Amino acid sequence: MAHLSEAAVKKINAICDRYADERTPLMMILSDVQKEYGYIPLEVQELVSERTGISVAEIYGVVTFYSFFSLNPKGKYVIGCCLGTACYVKGAQQVIDKFSEILGIKPGETTKDGLFTLDALRCIGACGIAPAVSINGKVYPKMSVNSVPAVIEEYRNAEANI
């Protein structure tokens, strides 16, 4: 826990305190921590364990089981490429490969500038508009290899205008 700043420890303690009266607070605590920091490193899991009495092993199990929690920092824009059956048979692998090629990262990695994270997802429930890609919750339907550069450019342009 030496890696956590005093301010971070205070915020995490406040999050834990917020759910102190809940019977099963872990998911709520982890969700709030994930929203606050973008990921849940081991140091944070240890602090949550100390505050709640829940073992680090149990916390780690929850963090690694649910795909919406992360052990590593994510980019500002998280690109989730669905590789479920409907998306896969309609070319999702080629779409994720194109994102990978343009961004210079593999699924599970983040660009050096911290702007993009590329994730391969099993199913996002958008089978009717396959292949689908989700970026920070915005769903892009019927993606193709040819549409990938424009989608990336949309987010790069948004950053340039900030």
The confidence score (pLDDT) of residue 1 equals 42
pLDDT tens, per residue, the chain with 162 residues: 448 889 999 999 999 999 888 888 999 999 999 988 889 999 999 999 999 999 999 999 999 988 789 998 899 999 999 999 999 999 999 999 999 999 999 999 999 999 999 999 988 999 999 999 999 989 999 999 999 999 999 999 998 887
One domain for residues 117 and 59: no
Structural domain containing residue 45: 6-65
Q: Which two tokens stand for residue 55?
A: 């073992």
Q: Looking at the domain assignment, is residue 50 inside a domain?
A: yes
Dihedrals phi, psi of 135, to nearest 5 degrees: -125, 110
One domain for residues 56 and 96: no
Total domain count, the chain: 2
C-alpha–C-alpha distance, residues 136 and 76, integer Å: 9
One domain for residues 57 and 83: no
Q: Looking at the domain assignment, is residue 1 inside a domain?
A: no
CATH number for 153: 3.40.30.10
The confidence score (pLDDT) of residue 160 equals 87
CA distances from 149 to 16, 80, 157, 160 (A): 42, 15, 12, 16
- Single out the residue of 124, 141, 123, 121 nearest to residue 132, CA to CA: 141
Chain-centroid distance, C-alpha 122: 14
Q: Show which of 65, 86, 110 is a domain's final residue.
A: 65
